[in-house]
Structure formats: C-alpha cells, structure tokens
Amino acid sequence: MQLAREIQAQGFRGSASLVGQLLSDWRARLPEPVGRVRGKKRQAAPLAKRQVSAKQASWLFVKRKEQLTTDQQELIERICQAHADLQELYQLGQDFVLMVKQRQPKQLDPWLARAQKSASVELQRFASGIKRDYDAVKAALSLPWSQGQVEGQITRLKFLKRQMYGRARFDLLRSRVLRRA
C-alpha cells in the first residue's frame, strides 16, 4: 500500500491491487535467497488461486478444452460451479467456437435459438446481431471464400498512408504500394 501511495503521488493512475499483482509476479521471479533448500523455487500463485479478470475468463471460455492446462480447466469448473448461469454460457461459447471452426452452418439456427433463451442479456444481444446479419454469417460458415486477404491489404495500405502522411508526395506513396504488389 505504501508503494502504491508513493507512485500514485508521482502520477501513476493504476490501483493499489494492480501494484500488488505486479509485485507478486515480480517476487515469484526473484532468485532464491541464500540459505534456502535447493530445489524449492518460488512460483507465482497458480491461476486457480488468483483472482481472474473478466477478460481472462472470457478467453478461457472460448478456448478449446484440449488447449487448456489442468489449472485452467479446474478454474473453469470452479467458476461454473459457483455461478450456474455461467455453465450455460460456457457451453454456448464452446458450441459457437466449434461451429465456426468446423464450419457447420446447420448448427447456426439451433444455436441462435438457445442463445436467445439464455439468461445472459449480452449473449442475447450477440445473437440479435447475428440475426441482423444472418445471411452474411450463414455464408461465412458455408462458403469457402474469405475476405482475409482483402482486409489485410486494406490494413497495409492504411498503415503506409498514415506512415507517410505529410512526408512525401503521391508518387512515392504509389511506388511503395506497388512495390509489394
């Protein structure tokens, strides 16, 4: 707390809990003090015992179960046991990711119906957004084509334009764009 107060006085805008988190991570990486028994290393608290942010939990919810460590799997189980609504969200998230990765357009309608009946308002809004763009989403799941290449080129062009803004004439911009084409 003392350190948090001191660095906040110098302009740090983070919370005291953030400072504590950073310090605990740093302490875990410190070398062993002299006199300690060899072989026992300090480790950061496992993920299951630390507080998990909503962002971290949401990524764990959409990651395939096979890709999770045992600590992460235990954490998801504890979260789902603590909050019954989250078990349904976890299952819907897993089903959606599987549907998209395996391109299963026939699963979209049943998934949307389940999502609309969900207790989560956010998931209902997500399903409503998908329904507004239903044809595009259905096409993305069923057709082999992707806009990935086009979007990548657009991003590259915007980057070059911003990088060169006010520095060179159009002919230099044109040559840089065409050099990679």
pLDDT of residue 62: 87
The two tokens of residue 153 are 């080129």
Query: Which of the two residues, 96 and 49, has the higher pLDDT score?
Result: 96
What is d(CA 138, CA 108) in angstroms, rounded to the nearest whole number? 8
Using 50, 70 and 90 to split pLDDT, how confident is the model at 161?
Answer: confident
Residue 155, Cβ density class (10 Å: 0-12 exposed, 13-18 middle, ≥19 buried): exposed
The two tokens of residue 134 are 């239903």
Using 50, 70 and 90 to split pLDDT, how confident is the model at 45?
Answer: low
The domain limits of the chain are 1-44, 152-179
pLDDT tens figures, 57-99: 888 888 888 888 998 888 888 888 888 788 888 999 999 999 9
* DSSP letter assigned to residue 33: P
16 Cβ contact partners less than 8 Å away, ≥ 6 residues apart:
1, 4, 5
Using 50, 70 and 90 to split pLDDT, how confident is the model at 37?
Answer: low
What CA dihedral angle connects 44, 46, 50 and 52, to 10 degrees? Answer: 120
Asked whether the beta carbons of 87 and 80 are under 8 A apart, the reply is: yes
Neighbours of 19 (CB within 10 A): 18
User: Residue 39: helix, strand or coil by DSSP?
Assistant: coil
Q: pTM here?
A: 0.57
pLDDT of residue 54: 81
pLDDT tens figures, 98-129: 999 999 999 999 999 999 999 889 999 999 99
pLDDT above 50: residue 48: no
What is d(CA 50, CA 34) in angstroms, rounded to the nearest whole number? 28
